Amino acid sequence: MSIQERGDDVTGQNWWRGAAIYQVYPRSFADSNGDGIGDLPGIRARLEHIASLGVEAIWLSPFFKSPMKDFGYDVADYCDIDPLFGTLEDFDRLVERAHALGLRVIIDQVFSHTSDQHPWFKESRSSRTNSRADWYVWADAKPDGSPPSNWQSVFGGPAWAWDARRRQYYLHNFLTEQPDLNVHNPAVQDALLECGRFWLERGVDGFRVDAIDYAMHDPALTDNPPATSAGKLPTRPIDFQEARYNKSHADIVKFIERIRALADSYGDRFTVAEVGGEGGEPVMKLFTAGERRFHTAYGFNFLYAESFSPPLIRSVLENWPDDGATGWPSWAFSNHDAPRAVSRWVAPSDRIIGAQLAMLLLVCLRGNIFLYQGEELGLPQASIAFEDLRDPEAIANWPLTLGRDGARTPMPWASAAGYGGFSTRRPWLPIPNEHLALAVDVQERDSTSQLAVTRRFIALRNRSSALRVGSLRVLEASPAILAIERSAGGERLLCLFNFGSVTHTVSAIPAGEWRAVESVGGAGLWTLPAMSGLIVQRM
């Protein structure tokens, strides 16, 4: 079924509203040429698997030309493919095949920084008078030679690096090899938008814009104040301060409106912002306000949550009300930067039911939902030995910051094949034995597997206006029990969850006749065993 045949969603709204989107981390999805690293032809060969889940789109993490210091988020050429992943022709074939299967293609755009190997930066650092001298954030040292401000890098240490060519510091909110662009400069904005246009012309259906809150800084270089949060053990210098002035400048919204205008000029394109860190929700709402900014922002509320918590879920959902003024939310439980949810939320003995319960909860949320590759298999976080680590953050902060490698291990396609069917040689990260037992070929043969229930739950969401775009009301959020109501038109659903260790009987049953439409963990009318969930529909 092609995109044209698929049409709009069940409500006639834009395709993206309420959509399920599948994130692909290209290095770890499928290797077609036997070099141990996933690539674009490998993704193309596995698109049928993604389409079988019922999702509307795929989001591809970076595949651009890069020195790979941060595995693609250090871009050296916005308009070319890194040879590790293939060619532009490979990308075009991937998009064509995805569209034929009814899948739209969303790609990352990294507009806050580049690689230090990008031609723009090479020219910018060559002198203070060249044509791109102010395309990056440069500043003189203080009289004592120290950095211009106290800003700290996400990856550890000062966010400033000295460059002898210009005898100035440049800003890098991430790795030293990732200099920050000066997006206050209109010429930089113009250049970035032309890079976005390049991919829109190749048929992409939208952008996930990485770290957009870091795109503009306070030009006065005001020092950040000390952090006021209590109870959190600092593991990096950045944890000691509130990131107030090195990001989230008010003028970012003007650039966001230019990004949205570009996307809108190509029709039904979709834009989603990444805004991370504590206190990010006001910025997310600012970046999605009205009809001229991002369609949605990618929520981090659940990505680092330590357990199923009805009170947390309630506060998060009610902070994005359907009031006509607040933007449209998006949710994910796992991604390439966060430990996999099933390992955070349940004990190893409960991982099978925990993964199913998490998937049922995800499809019941109001907003867009993002699935990270392997989530449909219930993959737990991999344990990576220090000598196998590749993540620069994990290596620099070992062992307190375990890093991102455990969520980035290769997809297991075939349990008995060498390297799980991912590659014909040793992959860039090891595949844990416990992942092989959860391989796609194993789960395809099991009607009760996480893969089977994922397909079933997404199919329910796709045919339900209430789940896709309906209103949401939290009825109960005790320490163990969550009850939410989803409704649209004449359709009314109750979504009930017991995250506790004892059976719960639903006592306050809303008036009317109800029938069960989906359940996990043995839940039924109106009994919820420990670790169970139930969706009922009013008849």
Q: Residue 111: pLDDT band by 50, 70, 90 thresholds?
A: very high
* Lowest pLDDT segment from 6-15, 257-266, 357-366, 431-440: 6-15
Same domain for 478 and 339: no
Sign of the CA dihedral running 264, 266, 272, 273 = negative
> Is the pLDDT score of 121 beyond 60?
yes
- Does the pLDDT value for residue 4 go beyond 70? no
- Please indicate, yes or no, if residue 66 is contained in any of the structural domains: yes
Whether residues 405 and 444 fall in one domain: yes
d(CA 500, CA 137) in angstroms, rounded, equals 50
User: What is the predicted pLDDT for the residue at 509?
Assistant: 79
Total domain count for the chain? 2
Question: Residues 90, 177, 210, 391: which is the catalytic one?
Answer: 210
Last residue of a domain, one of 404, 434, 461: 461
Are residue 457 and residue 474 in the same domain, yes or no? no
| 169: β partners | 139, 162
Looking at the fold, whether 367 and 478 belong to one and the same domain comes out as no
DSSP-based three-state secondary structure for 57: strand
Using the predicted structure, report yes or no on whether residue 432 has a pLDDT greater than 60.
yes
The yes-or-no answer on residue 268 being catalytic is: no
Q: Which of 436, 461, 486 is the last residue of a domain?
A: 461
164-192 pLDDT per residue, tens? 999 999 999 999 999 999 999 999 999 99
Which pairs count as long-range contacts for 471-474, CB under 8 Å and 24+ apart, including other chains? 471/322, 471/366, 472/317, 472/322, 472/365, 472/366, 474/313, 474/314, 474/317, 474/318
**What is the SS3 assignment for 171?**
strand
- 520 is in which domain, residue-wise? 470-538
Query: How many CB atoms lie under 10 A from the CB of residue 286?
Result: 18
Residue 407: both structure tokens together: 């969520």
pLDDT above 70 coverage of the chain, percent: 96
Spatial separation of the C-alpha atoms in residues 352 and 346, rounded to whole Å? 9
pLDDT, residue 426, reads: 97
Spatial distance between the Cα atoms of 341 and 291, rounded to a whole number of angstroms:
32
Nearest of 382, 375, 216 to residue 302 by alpha carbon: 375
Which stretch of DSSP H or E encloses residue 496? strand 491-498
In a domain, 133, yes or no: no
My answer on whether 389 and 512 are in the same domain is no
* 388 and 491 fall within a common domain: no
Say yes or no: 332 and 444 in one domain. yes
214 φ/ψ angles, rounded to the nearest 5 degrees: -90, 5
Phi-psi region of 206 (alpha: psi -120 to 50; beta: other; left: phi over 0): left
In a domain, 163, yes or no: no
- CATH number, domain containing residue 499: 2.60.40.1180
> Angle formed by the axes of helices 252-264 and 281-288, to 10°?
50
pLDDT of residue 6: 43
- In angstroms, the Cα distances linking 7 to 16, 206, 268, 297, 315 are 11, 17, 12, 24, 34
Is residue 320 domain-resident? yes
Residue 274 falls in the annotated catalytic set: yes
pLDDT of residue 539: 87
* Active-site position among 274, 337, 376, 405: 274
Q: Residue 130 and residue 114: Cα distance in Å, rounded?
A: 18
What length does the chain have?
539
- Of the candidates 510, 517, 520, 512, the residue with the CA atom closest to the CA atom of residue 536: 517
Give the DSSP letter of residue 384: -
pLDDT tens column, 74-100: 999 999 999 999 999 999 999 999 999
Note if the pTM is more than 0.85.
yes
Tell me the β-bridge partners of 533.
Answer: 497, 520
| 14-58: pLDDT as tens digits | 899 999 999 999 999 999 999 999 999 999 999 999 999 999 999
Q: What percent of the chain has pLDDT over 90?
A: 88
pLDDT of the residue at 9:
42
- Whether the per-residue pLDDT at 293 is higher than 90: the answer is yes
